[in-house]
């Protein structure tokens, strides 16, 4: 079973029309490994700009969405609106949504169900905090987060699972290739036991947390690392090297 390598740049709340335009030019003209699926997750207000300027060979993702198509939910956007802008993916359950904005597992599950039902692909994020890793409960935490997501998925072909240890996000402390592989392997085992062997073999499990041009190759060589979710480095030309990590 070959899983197509998947690299998503999560621009978070960064960029301007000018800087995003320059980044898109860099991506559009770069020499990229054709065997990699590349997605750019832009701030909501720049989704349409990003979709219109980025070469169609790239996909675009929103960074969040709500659980109904429309209504009195000031500040939110729906999968229907995201699709209306020509955008096909959404990141859900990012640790910044969980821990800065207090999103619960239950809400992330509802968002996953609604996004999938409305035709978006979902990059579903999970990951333990530092005290949870140090307390030896990494597996317990990521399995519990994965279960809530899994309970809301009917079609796994539209889901990418992103393992992002919270202690590695924006800290410059990348998980070692062995640490990443260990959790990815456990997650695949969990999927095999709790979903199916076919899903365990086919779902892409990508790693996020301080991935750089320097760390990407060894991480990418791990058997169960099927790509990356990249924050800071996705705003720099270095993102090209990360896309080409396996080339």
Residues belonging to the active site: 94, 164
Taking contact as CB under 6 A, which single stretch among the options 48-56, 176-184, 186-194, 205-213 is the one that binds ligand 13P?
205-213
2 Cβ neighbours under 8 A, 6+ residues apart: none
- Residue closest to ligand 13P, measured at CB: 231
When asked if residue 63 is in the footprint of ligand 13P (CB under 6 A), the reply is no
Burial class (CB in 10 A: 0-12, 13-18, 19+), 110: middle
> In whole angstroms, how close is the CB of 62 to ligand 13P at the nearest point?
13
- Give the range of 28-36, 98-106, 195-203, 204-212 binding ligand 13P by CB under 6 A: 204-212
Instruction: Compute how many other C-beta atoms are within 10 angstroms of the C-beta atom of residue 52.
Output: 11
Residues between 1 and 20 that touch ligand 13P (CB under 6 A):
10
Part of the chain binding ligand 13P (CB under 6 A), chosen from 106-114, 180-188, 213-221, 230-238: 230-238
Nearer to ligand 13P, 42 or 200 (CB): 42
Any contact of residue 227 with ligand 13P (CB under 6 A)?
no
Taking CB under 6 A as the binding criterion, the range among 28-36, 72-80, 99-107, 208-216 that sits at the site for ligand 13P is 208-216
Pick from 49, 230, 242, 243 the residue near ligand 13P by CB under 6 A.
230
Please tell me whether residue 229 binds ligand 13P under the rule CB under 6 A.
yes
User: What's the alpha-carbon Rg for the chain, to the nearest Å?
Assistant: 17
Nearest approach in angstroms of CB 208 to ligand 13P is 4
Q: Which residues pair with residue 122 across a beta bridge?
A: 90, 159
Residue 102's CB is within 10 A of a number of other CB atoms, namely: 8
* Separation CA 148–CA 163 (nearest Å): 15
Distance (Å, whole) CA 166 – CA 243: 22
Q: Is 158 left (phi over 0), alpha (psi -120 to 50) or beta?
A: alpha
CB environment 232-245: b (16+ within 10 A), e (fewer): bbbbbebbbbbbbb
Residues comprising the chain, all counted: 247
Smaller CB separation from ligand 13P, 124 or 191 = 124
With CB under 6 A as the contact rule, the residue among 61, 211, 216, 219 that binds ligand 13P is 211
Instruction: Give the number of other CB atoms < 10 A from CB of residue 34.
Output: 7
Q: Out of 79, 93, 109, 232, name the contact with ligand 13P by CB under 6 A.
A: 232
Binding residue (CB under 6 A) for ligand 13P from 37, 103, 128, 164: 164
Q: Which residues of this chain interact with ligand 13P, rule CB under 6 A?
A: 10, 94, 164, 169-170, 208-211, 229-233
């Amino acid at each position: 079973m070959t899983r197509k390598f998947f690299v998503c740049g999560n621009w978070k709340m960064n960029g301007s029309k000018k800087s995003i335009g320059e980044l898109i030019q860099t991506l559009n003209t770069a020499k990229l490994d054709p065997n990699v699926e590349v997605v750019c997750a832009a701030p909501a207000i720049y989704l349409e700009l990003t979709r219109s300027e980025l070469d169609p060979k790239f996909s675009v993702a929103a960074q969040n969405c709500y659980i109904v198509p429309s209504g009195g939910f000031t500040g939110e956007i729906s999968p229907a609106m995201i699709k209306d802008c020509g955008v096909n993916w959404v990141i859900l359950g990012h640790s910044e949504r969980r821990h800065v904005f207090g999103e619960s597992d239950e809400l992330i599950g509802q968002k996953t169900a609604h996004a999938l039902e409305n035709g978006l692909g979902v990059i579903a994020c999970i990951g333990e905090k530092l005290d949870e890793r140090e307390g030896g409960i990494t597996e317990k935490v990521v399995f519990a987060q994965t279960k809530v997501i899994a309970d809301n998925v009917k079609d796994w072909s539209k889901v990418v699972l992103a393992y992002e240890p919270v202690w590695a996000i924006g800290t410059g402390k990348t998980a070692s290739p062995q640490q990443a592989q260990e959790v990815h392997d456990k997650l695949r085992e969990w999927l095999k036991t709790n979903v199916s062997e076919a899903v365990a073999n086919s779902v892409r499990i990508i790693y996020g947390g301080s991935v750089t041009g320097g760390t990407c190759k060894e991480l990418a060589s791990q058997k169960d690392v099927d790509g990356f979710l990249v924050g800071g480095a996705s705003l720099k030309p270095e993102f090209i090297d990360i896309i080409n990590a396996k080339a």
